[in-house]
Structure 1
Amino acid sequence: MTYNEQRAARLNGLRKSVFAPAATALFLGVSGASVVTPTAVIAQSYSFSSVQIVGTERISASTVLSYLGIGKGQTVSAAELNDAYQRLTGSGLFNTVELQPRGSTLVVRVQEYSMISRINVEGNRRKEDDELIALIQSRPRDVFSPSVAERDAQIIAEAYAADGRISAEVVPRIIRRGGGRVDLVFEVVEGKNAEIERLSFSGNRAFTDSRLRRVLTSKQAGILRAFVRADTFDPARLEFDKQVLTDFYNSRGFVDFEATAVSAEVPQSRDGYQVTFQITEGQQFSLGKVDTISEIDGLDPAEFERVARLNPGTIYNPTKVDQAIARMERLAAQKGLTFVNVEPRVTRNDREGTLDVTLAIVRGPRVIVERIDIEGNQTTLDRVVRSQFRTVEGDPFNPRAIRDAAERIRALGYFANVDVQAREGSASDRVVVDVDVEEQGTGSLSFGAAYSTATGFGLNASFQETNFLGRGQFIKAAFNGGVTARNYEFSFAEPNLFGRDLVLGIDAFYTETTASAYAMFDSTNARIEPYLEFPVSATSRVAVRPFVEGGRISNVDPASSAVLSAEAARGWQFGAGAGLTYTFDTARNAIDPTSRAFLRLTGDVGGLGADNQYIKATALARVQTKVLNDEVTLRAEAEAGAVYSLNGAGSRITDRFLLPASQLRGFAPYGVGPRDLTAGNMDALGGNYFAVARAEAQFPLGLPEEYGISGGVFADVGTLWGLDNNLGGTIDDSMYLRATVGASLFWDTPVGPLRFNYAIPLRKQPYDNENRFEVTISTSF
């Protein structure tokens, strides 16, 4: 039986069981009217000189007469008398109605519905009384109506169904209190969540069921069903998943894809649904010839063709074509050309499996944006929403620019729903853009526990707000404390300084560590770093970062290296500096959903005012792609850094690089690099230079997708070397290569992704400290 059939059957049974007494009373009322007025069938007409009303308590006689609709001395037929009866019963004011003609007098005998004194909900645990009562129409001090109560019961049941509790039952009861008053009670049996036991697909050939299930927002019920609500059956979510599947296939060249139907069945003796998506994939297309033409006199298309950057032979992706058009239209705006549009004209070649695209530069309609109206934002300021538009009042209207703005508003994460529509303004050549938003919570306060193999057990607490005071500002305060380390952090950012794409922010931290098995000394470090970040291209940004920092090393173990003792003797060091960060990220444009490239370059000059002035530089490059029908994810990373002392005082261990397990797997913290073998503790000292390369593959293990468990393999190679003080050559700080291979287990849990690594060092130095198994667990509650 389908969902709708079950729902109809349940409601029908509810009506029969709950409202049978009321229906019987109504039937007797109708029968009574028929019995006491048998002459109405024979007589052709009536004329009443008076109307006698019996049974009213709170309802006035004028109200009854208004529904009756029969005037004094008016001649009425039997049919008209019946119509008057129907009007009275249909008013919803009376439990029973009788019309009794007595000569020239019409006796109207009624029994009023009771007044609702109080409304209660019983049996509800998942939803509060106030939440449910706010949904219904019945209210205290209103006249009780069985039909309204029935609709209210259905509304409450539908509220539970929206949360996946489709088997919830709601029964309205009345408790008579005397004096014409009743208490209305909704008895709720919440039932269990209706789960999706199985998600399957029919008609898919290019992608497996497991790959398509990862695309959907709906999930199969798994071992985490107590925490994951995405496995509850929700028809609205399934409709959204149809669009998600369409976007997934379209971006991979299947332009004719259709999700033709979604069927949901309940097997016998099972509580869950079996959901099947019936799909038609169609043919996969590649990008054929790409031409750029101009239909505007005097405009050379060659320059526009260069910014399109569409590569023939690649898989056809409508998003790439849209982004090419956006770049071309931005170029037109930069040249001062108004009302210029780029039209994509696509020619199919089914035999070759290609789509030829002609990008035509044409003169668009002369329509301008009259105004942008924003509604629904109770907390968020208008300027926060308006800042996502590249179009302002008076600019040429560009539907693509409006759609892009809508996507940017959604990406803010401030709103549960965003609807952006354009309508005709005060004239045919003017457009008004309506923005309707629905706000959602943007702040979080969390307390938790954490464990890592480096620092052991610890506690953490954090407060974070991404839309501070409705201004779109970001603020975060956090504490992390363990056995050997305590860290305090604060961050604040204004993402739209002066109404432009400028980010002004500040980061600050204070960290204390105590001696451990990895480092036989205490350390204290603090840093305050304001920054200004701005774009230099669609995918690149630059941040300028002045900073002030300070720190010290103390309580060095007497058996430790003389290098550490000398560095501790320098005491507190405070200095100022400035840095520059450049980032490149293709995800900012999301050109290819299966691939991503990321690059970060940093350069700092610091120590001004301290005993050591230095230059420090780091670089990180990362690429990721998916192969084998997106089943396998491949990642590769390269990372390097250098710190150079300018005045010969030399760096301290807190300034140097250490290569933790997150950078070179298979080794303990302070596990590699230059080491003082003459000291009793054989202290690791870090290095002024490092270079690491990492590669890994992540793939499914054949387990049910809803478990969120996948596997991986990896290989790391790296080195850490160089000291300012090697004690006259007694410490070997040469560049020795380390290499490891290993396997990983990935587990996506409701509290965050967990990763378990087992690494085997293949190349190392005899004094290196290994750590073959590594796991990081973080839980919030």
Structure 2
Amino acid sequence: MTDRKLGKGALALISALAVAAPVGMLPTVAAAYVFNNVRIEGNQRIEPQTILSYLDLPRGQDVSGGALNDALQRLQNSGLFETVELVPSAGTLVVRIREFPTINVISFEGNKKLKDENLAEIVKSKSRRVYSPAQAEADAAAISQIYASDGRLAARVDPRIIRRSDNRVDLVFEILEGDVTEIERIGFVGNRAFSDKRLRNVLQTKQAGILRTFIKRDTFAPERLSVDEKLLTDFYRSRGYADFRVQAVAPEVARERDAFYITFNIYEGPRYTFGKVDTVSEVPGVDAAEFNAQNRVKKGGVYNPTEIDTSIRRMEALAIRKGLNFVNIEPRITRNERNQTLDLTFALTRGQRVFVERIDIEGNTTTLDEVIRRQFSTVEGDPFNPREIRNSAERLRALGYFADVQAESRQGSSPEQVIVDVNVEEQPTGSLSFGASYGVATGVGFNVGLSEKNFLGRGQQLDLSFATGSGTQSSGLTFVEPYFLGRNLKARAQVWYNTTDRLNSEYNTRTVGLLTGIEFPVSENGRLELRYKLSKDTLYGVEEDHIDPDTGEEVGSSPILFNEQGGYFTSALGYTYSYDSRTAGLDPLTSYRLRFSQDFAGVGGDVKSITTTLYTGIESRAWRPSVTMLAEFEAGAVHMLGNDTSRLLDRFTGNGKIRGFEPNGYGPRDLLAPNEDVLAGNYFWALRTELQFPLGLPEEYGITGGLFADAGSVWGLDNTVGAFGNEVDDSMKVRASIGASVFWTTPIGPLRFNFSHALKKEDYDDVQNFDLTISTKF
């Protein structure tokens, strides 16, 4: 004891208040006192030295009430103790503590949408560790945030403890999930040209509707708002509103936190058309007229930035082909607000001399770097061309391996060099497809397809298919190596096995074969494939005329088929020239496709023939971006060499060429033969047209419609002597059909319903008025 001591009354007062005061509070006493000893009571896991370090009070010296209170706060704020008391007793300071308990188990109650194991990964409180109220509250907040990100803003999470023996507690998170906080209304202020309904269809964020159970985009996600602003801007500017801008977006949540209301405040501005359009060259030796021929912007047309960008891409592609490096295409726009026109000048300017120092690739975990790099025609050391880098990024996106591809440049080790950063986000590249069809005669058919277009991350394609129906089975395996021997050579190997069993006929067929080929580019959009095919085709089960003992009816096939039955080998060399404007991607609204093939059989085998096929197709959204127009035409011919005559499996059938008809549903027939089997033909043509468009339903429902009209014919036989010596009519008789389609994007995959009606057909044709297809991806 020292000479200076607190009086007994003061000590009693401090002791009493310290015990009675709530945790974390100690009265401030003006008087000072001195203690020589510290006695710690209640600690079990915490070492006394640790407690003394937090206490940090001198012994044998004056200690004020304020210093004593500071010591109490340090102990309490350490997070080690549930309660703390400081009790001066004569010359001894008694520190009474109760340590936080140890967590025995952690459990969750009330959760249905999220599993316990998922929630356990979120919380940082752990079993067999010291319980911390602050950490438990933080864990509750983290769980609430997960529910909020799923649209459940009204979710509540309360941490509770259940005390057990030996200073242990069970930590329980009581969860009230609540309902999804949906967007009840999306409104617009300032729109005059387009209605709220039309603008809502543009947004990625959707308003809750009758299918709110299945639509997940009607929950509020703040990150979608910036995307919505860009979508609105693109929508308006592509329709001539060059001054359009989103002035503000105001999301509001209801007081009960069960609904969101979003309002877009927009400025439309006037609608512009293009005025004077020309091209000038500021680069010596570069002819502007040659580049102006690539321009697709026309005077009087509605302003559309996409048309400007398309013209720039075409001009820059021409500059690349001509080897003109460091040439920029600069669009210069002059506004004429009085008549609401925009004068446009494409200026060819000399750019800065910059070279590619390095290409860095990130984000690919499955796809090999070399698969990405081979889409870049630019390599290290080449002149830097921003458009070529963007084109390479487009080619990467077109592969279908990645959900997103970003290619950006930054300054390299010197101002004359740049580093290209390529960041990819991989996505599933395998697909599992299921199909179903229904025909009046064939019944229900099913097909299954397994496809992987980025096999082992090497960019290789592997397809396996199997289909079965009433009277048909087919299976096949295809493997494609797009860069054979490290070059732009596509190698293909394919095997197949197909059978039919009385498929709208009274005969069976079996084909088994293999094909191998190699394809290479011959122009920017054109490719040539050279191939070899070996197959064995068998026609069997052909019935000779006889009387069915069960029915007493005459049955039998045409003598044409009876004479063609048996198996034979076909060994053929062939080629295919294909053209696809989508390869360059210079016109985002319209694409053209052409394919011309010939196969020359007779390199060994039993068949000597020339088979020629032609396909052309066009797909366009130029009329309206929301409407897709498609047109396809194909034709084929078989010419037998020498004295050979074509057989059934050499000829063409109408299968899949005209909608509204069943397999083997039309073509030449021997009508006098009891079975009236389809004979197929040496020639065919087919024209298919289709229009796909929205049905006026909310876009988030994923339901669109289509109309189609098809026409075509199969005709021509080398041997036309049918039953009873009569000549079979093998003339070209046109068939035609019309129909409607419903497309529905569902959680299990896209569905297509086709309803068709044959407008022009023969009495003996077999029609198919409905079919359904479905596919899904993994």
TM range (shorter): 0.7 to 0.9
Q: Could you say which residue in structure 2 is the equivalent of 1:583?
A: 579
Taking structure 2 as the reference length, what is the TM-score of the superposition?
0.83
**2:26 matches 1:42:** no
| Among candidates 130, 136, 139, match of residue 143 of structure 1 | 130
Q: Could you say which residue in structure 2 is the equivalent of 1:519?
A: 505
Q: What one-letter code is carried by the residue in structure 1 that aligns with 2:46? A: I
Cα distance per residue 1:590-631 (max 9 Å; x no partner) = 6344x4444333333335333322222333333344588556
**2:538 matches 1:552:** yes
**2:189 matches 1:171:** no
Q: Could you say which residue in structure 2 is the equivalent of 1:17?
A: none
**2:687 matches 1:693:** yes
Shift of 1:580: 0.8
**Shift in CA distance, 385/204, structure 1 to aligned 2, threshold 3 Å:** farther
SS in 1 for 2:344: strand
* Contact 2:86 2:95 (8 Å CA) reproduced: yes
Distance 1:463 1:73 in 2: 85
**Residue correspondence of structure 1 range 644-723 to structure 2 within 5 A:** 644-660=639-655, 662-723=656-717
| Among candidates 372, 385, 394, match of residue 381 of structure 2 | 394
Q: Which has the larger radius of gyration?
A: 2
* Contact 2:694 2:704 (8 Å CA) reproduced: yes
Taking structure 1 as the reference length, what is the TM-score of the superposition?
0.83
Distance 2:289 2:561 in 1: 63
Q: What one-letter code is carried by the residue in structure 1 that aligns with 2:609? A: Y
Shift of 1:332: 4.2
Cα distance per residue 1:155-191 (max 9 Å; x no partner) = 2232233334444443333333433433333344444
Q: What one-letter code is carried by the residue in structure 2 that aligns with 1:479? A: F
SS in 1 for 2:649: coil
**In the comparison of the two structures, how many residue pairs are matched?**
745
Q: Could you say which residue in structure 2 is the equivalent of 1:605?
A: 600
Residues 177-186 or 485-494, more deviating? 177-186
* Contact 2:530 2:576 (8 Å CA) reproduced: yes
**Shift in CA distance, 775/269, structure 1 to aligned 2, threshold 3 Å:** farther
Distance 2:684 2:540 in 1: 26
Q: Could you say which residue in structure 2 is the equivalent of 1:565?
A: 562
**Shift in CA distance, 199/140, structure 1 to aligned 2, threshold 3 Å:** same
Cα distance per residue 1:607-665 (max 9 Å; x no partner) = 533332222233333334458855654443333222222234233333322223x4323
**Shift in CA distance, 194/555, structure 1 to aligned 2, threshold 3 Å:** farther
**Shift in CA distance, 48/270, structure 1 to aligned 2, threshold 3 Å:** closer
| Among candidates 467, 471, 480, match of residue 480 of structure 1 | 467
* Contact 1:342 1:361 (8 Å CA) reproduced: yes
* Contact 1:222 1:706 (8 Å CA) reproduced: no
Distance 2:80 2:746 in 1: 55
Distance 2:599 2:54 in 1: 85
Q: What one-letter code is carried by the residue in structure 1 that aligns with 2:717? A: L
Q: Could you say which residue in structure 2 is the equivalent of 1:385?
A: 372
Q: Could you say which residue in structure 2 is the equivalent of 1:15?
A: none
* Contact 1:538 1:589 (8 Å CA) reproduced: no
* Contact 1:95 1:111 (8 Å CA) reproduced: yes
**Shift in CA distance, 355/654, structure 1 to aligned 2, threshold 3 Å:** farther
Distance 2:218 2:349 in 1: 48
Q: What one-letter code is carried by the residue in structure 2 that aligns with 1:553? A: L
Q: Could you say which residue in structure 1 is the equivalent of 2:443?
A: 456
Cα distance per residue 1:687-737 (max 9 Å; x no partner) = 222223334444444445444444444433323221121128701111223
Q: What one-letter code is carried by the residue in structure 2 that aligns with 1:468? A: F
Cα distance per residue 1:457-481 (max 9 Å; x no partner) = 3454443333322223222223222
Distance 2:737 2:86 in 1: 95
* Contact 1:450 1:779 (8 Å CA) reproduced: no
Q: What one-letter code is carried by the residue in structure 1 that aligns with 2:644? A: A
Distance 1:78 1:271 in 2: 51
Q: What one-letter code is carried by the residue in structure 2 that aligns with 1:381? A: L
Q: What one-letter code is carried by the residue in structure 2 that aligns with 1:646? A: L
Shift of 1:238: 4.4
* Contact 2:524 2:583 (8 Å CA) reproduced: no
* Contact 1:451 1:778 (8 Å CA) reproduced: no
* Contact 1:414 1:467 (8 Å CA) reproduced: yes
Distance 1:91 1:551 in 2: 85
Q: What one-letter code is carried by the residue in structure 2 that aligns with 1:759? A: H
Shift of 1:582: 0.6
**Shift in CA distance, 734/607, structure 1 to aligned 2, threshold 3 Å:** same
Distance 2:133 2:485 in 1: 59
Cα distance per residue 1:79-128 (max 9 Å; x no partner) = 66555544443333332334445677655443322233443344444444
**Shift in CA distance, 714/474, structure 1 to aligned 2, threshold 3 Å:** closer
Q: What one-letter code is carried by the residue in structure 2 that aligns with 1:754? A: R
Q: Could you say which residue in structure 2 is the equivalent of 1:620?
A: 615
**Shift in CA distance, 743/469, structure 1 to aligned 2, threshold 3 Å:** closer
* Contact 2:737 2:756 (8 Å CA) reproduced: no
* Contact 2:186 2:263 (8 Å CA) reproduced: yes
**Shift in CA distance, 227/437, structure 1 to aligned 2, threshold 3 Å:** same
Q: What one-letter code is carried by the residue in structure 1 that aligns with 2:579? A: T
Shift of 1:497: 4.3
**Shift in CA distance, 334/110, structure 1 to aligned 2, threshold 3 Å:** farther
Distance 2:34 2:421 in 1: 60
Q: What one-letter code is carried by the residue in structure 2 that aligns with 1:723? A: L
* Contact 1:577 1:608 (8 Å CA) reproduced: yes
Distance 1:109 1:690 in 2: 99
What RMSD in Å do the two structures reach over aligned CA positions?
A: 3.8
Q: Could you say which residue in structure 2 is the equivalent of 1:752?
A: 750
Distance 1:372 1:410 in 2: 17
**2:762 matches 1:776:** no
Distance 1:302 1:582 in 2: 31
Q: Could you say which residue in structure 1 is the equivalent of 2:231?
A: 244
| Among candidates 321, 324, 327, match of residue 308 of structure 2 | 321
**Shift in CA distance, 165/46, structure 1 to aligned 2, threshold 3 Å:** same
Distance 2:159 2:30 in 1: 42
Distance 2:221 2:325 in 1: 46
Percent identity (aligned): 48
Shift of 1:673: 2.4
Distance 1:509 1:223 in 2: 47
Runs of 5+ consecutive residues of structure 1 not aligned to the other structure: 1-26
Distance 2:56 2:411 in 1: 47
Distance 2:543 2:184 in 1: 60
* Contact 1:222 1:707 (8 Å CA) reproduced: no
Q: What one-letter code is carried by the residue in structure 2 that aligns with 1:673? A: G
Q: Could you say which residue in structure 1 is the equivalent of 2:144?
A: 157
* Contact 2:577 2:596 (8 Å CA) reproduced: yes
Distance 1:46 1:331 in 2: 93
**Residue correspondence of structure 1 range 103-142 to structure 2 within 5 A:** 107-142=94-129
Distance 1:412 1:108 in 2: 71
* Contact 2:79 2:132 (8 Å CA) reproduced: yes
Distance 1:510 1:424 in 2: 56
Distance 1:682 1:734 in 2: 16
Shift of 1:348: 2.5
* Contact 1:624 1:633 (8 Å CA) reproduced: yes
| Among candidates 359, 364, 371, match of residue 351 of structure 2 | 364
Q: What one-letter code is carried by the residue in structure 1 that aligns with 2:497? A: Y
Distance 2:472 2:408 in 1: 52
